[in-house]
Amino acid sequence: MRIDIITVLPELLESPLNHSIVQRAKDKGLVEINVINLRDFASDKYKSVDDYPFGGGSGMVMTIEPIYKAIEKLKMDRDYDEIIYTSPDGILFNQKTANELSLKENIIILAGHYKGVDQRVRDHLITREISIGDFVLSGGEMPAALITDAIVRLIPGVISDEQSALYDSFQDNLLAPPVYTRPADFRGWKVPEILLSGNTPEIERWRHEKSIDRTQNLRPDLMED
């Protein structure tokens, strides 16, 4: 898989994309992640990528020309399955979307910034708009890193215990069950006996029941889906 992230602040993506599971995936050759500085495609000496909005109003708008140039240059070398724009008014990102995107070959993520992006970018270049929640951040770099992380960890071979990802929260619209480890008794706080029994079918049944209980109590909205 290849993920290209277009941004005006590439420095913000250095740490999230160069450590932990994402870095291991890159080391294994399972994913290639490139951060493209949008300012490299600016046409003036000031490397400007934003301008005042037509019609007046506060804030600055990301201009269409450098974005178009960046995307067209990338598309010269390969076809892209998705060109994603991170925006607070996009479709809410969830595990189902992460699963779907992990099956793609090539993805571009345009990190939004300033007041937003020229609407013509959204109308003619973007294939999918994604939000990570009903709030506004200073820019789309952190959402781009979050989306990338969620996708990459699902690629076969990235996580050594591939079964682990199947039991993550939200994989089946349920929260994950409680987990425990050693010691089995800490200050009188004991691990449920069923987890120490070695009875795998009963353990799995217990975990499923706990997942349902936790989801009903903490995220009943997921049960509606």
Residues 130 and 213 in one domain: no
pLDDT score of 225: 64
Instruction: Look up residue 77 and give its two tokens.
Output: 């070398």
Residue pLDDT, tens place only, 68-78: 999 999 999 99
How sure is the predictor about 160, in pLDDT bands with cuts at 50, 70 and 90? confident
pLDDT score of 162: 56
For residue 162, being part of any structural domain is answered with: no
SS3 state at 83? strand
Q: Choose the final residue of a domain: 126, 152, 178.
A: 152
For residue 64, being part of any structural domain is answered with: yes
Q: Is the pLDDT of residue 61 over 60?
A: yes
Do the bridges between strand 128-131 and strand 82-92 make them parallel or antiparallel, or are there none, so unpaired? parallel
Structural domain harbouring 43: 2-152
Rounded CA-CA distance 14/28 in Å is 19
Residues written for the chain: 225
Helix H segments across the chain?
20-27, 64-75, 95-101, 119-124, 141-152, 162-166, 200-218, 220-224
For residue 38, being part of any structural domain is answered with: yes
Q: Which residue has the higher pLDDT, 169 or 24?
A: 24
For residue 107, being part of any structural domain is answered with: yes
3 forms beta bridges with 33, 107
* CATH number of domain containing 140: 3.40.1280.10
Average pLDDT, rounded, for the chain: 93
Angle at which helix 141-152 crosses helix 20-27, to 10 degrees, equals: 60
Instruction: Look up residue 209 and give its two tokens.
Output: 């029941």
Residue pLDDT, tens place only, 81-125: 999 999 988 999 999 999 999 999 999 999 998 889 999 999 999
Overall average pLDDT of the 11-33 stretch: 95
pLDDT score of 169: 52
Residues 19 and 53 in one domain: yes
φ/ψ of residue 125, rounded to 5: -115, -30
Residues 179 and 69 in one domain: no
pLDDT score of 171: 64
* CATH number of domain containing 207: 1.10.1270.20
Contact criterion met (CB below 8 Å) for 2 and 30: no
Residues 76 and 124 in one domain: yes
How sure is the predictor about 23, in pLDDT bands with cuts at 50, 70 and 90? very high
DSSP secondary structure, 158-173, as one string: SSSSHHHHHTSTTTTS
Residues 145 and 181 in one domain: no
Residues 95 and 128 in one domain: yes
Residue pLDDT, tens place only, 172-200: 788 888 999 999 999 999 999 999 999 99
Domain count, the chain: 2
Residue pLDDT, tens place only, 194-218: 999 999 999 999 999 999 999 999 9
Does the predicted TM-score (pTM) go above 0.85? yes
What are the angstrom distances between the C-alpha of 217 and each of 157, 170, 175, 180? Answer: 34, 15, 10, 20
Rounded CA-CA distance 198/202 in Å is 9
Would residue 108 be called left, alpha or beta, if left means φ above 0 and alpha means ψ between -120 and 50 degrees? Answer: beta
For residue 135, being part of any structural domain is answered with: yes
